[in-house]
Amino acid sequence: MDICQFCSKKSPAVTKLDPDELKILGDSCVEVAFSKGDIIFKQNALSSNVIFIKEGLVKIHVAGPEKEQILKVSKGPTYLGIPTTFGDKINHYSATALVPTSVCFIDINVFKEFIKINSDFAYEVIVDLCKDELNQFERCVNLVQKQIHGRLCGTLLYFSEDIFQSDFIEMPLNRNELADLICTSRETVSRLLSELNKEQIIQISGKRIKLLDMDKLKQISLKG
């Protein structure tokens, strides 16, 4: 099969593979379609695949000591399970589809082999992991040092800029999940959203959120 060779959603790493390697990847790769709410992989389960989100939106989450914690929301195309696949035998987090999502499961041994024989591939994988770690560091500082107004507005901006590339958000998380993402309670999320709505900074109708006053949002996001 040549499913990988002609795929338009190649990761930067995979663009460094030659046709033979692409064929090997294609032969070992399985593409699966998930619906909204489906679990792609589960915390504490054995993992033997690198996961690549070809298209869609996914939340990465862990069952923390106190409650559920959403680590991040990521949009395809992107790798997703590299740390959890290479870092340990079992998954340290779960991944759940937030919208219809198409996922490639890549055999870990094939992936390992590419890292060994193709340094450009390996380099791109490292770049990917580094970028992600930088993002997580930033998120960590924001979570710890910003107040809730800042965290929520920052999250709205993230969805607007990085996920939807639009000032209109079709929020895929409910209020509870939003709270789990920014470490607060669902009541607080509700309250703050209606406050922002009242102040004409955003416009809410259920899951649809329109960002009206970008400058205000950025300001609140910054000063926390």
Partner DNA sequence: GCATTAACCACAG
Partner DNA sequence: CTGTGGTTAATGC
CA 90 – CA 131 distance, rounded (Å): 23
Determine the size of the site formed for DNA (CB under 7 A): 19
- Please list every residue from 153 through 182 that binds DNA, using CB under 7 A: 174-176
210 is a contact residue toward DNA (CB under 7 A): no
Q: Return the residue of 187, 200, 219, 223 that touches DNA, per CB under 7 A.
A: 187
Q: Is 60 exposed, middle or buried (0-12, 13-18, 19+ CB in 10 A)?
A: buried
185 is a contact residue toward DNA (CB under 7 A): yes
Please report how close the Cβ of residue 182 comes to DNA at its closest, in angstroms.
9
Name the phi and psi angles at 136, rounded to 5: -70, -35
200 is a contact residue toward DNA (CB under 7 A): no
User: Binding mask 94-133 vs DNA (x if CB under 7 A, - otherwise)?
Assistant: ----------------------------------------
First-last CA distance in the chain: 51
What are the tokens at 81?
Answer: 């399970």
Q: Report the SS3 class of residue 60.
A: strand
Backbone CA torsion sign across 166, 172, 174, 176: negative
204 is a contact residue toward DNA (CB under 7 A): yes
Q: In this complex, which beta carbon is closest to DNA, that of residue 104 or of residue 182?
A: 182
Please report how close the Cβ of residue 20 comes to DNA at its closest, in angstroms.
48
CA 44 – CA 196 distance, rounded (Å): 39
Q: Contact residues for DNA (CB under 7 A)? A: 147-149, 174-176, 183-191, 193-194, 204, 207
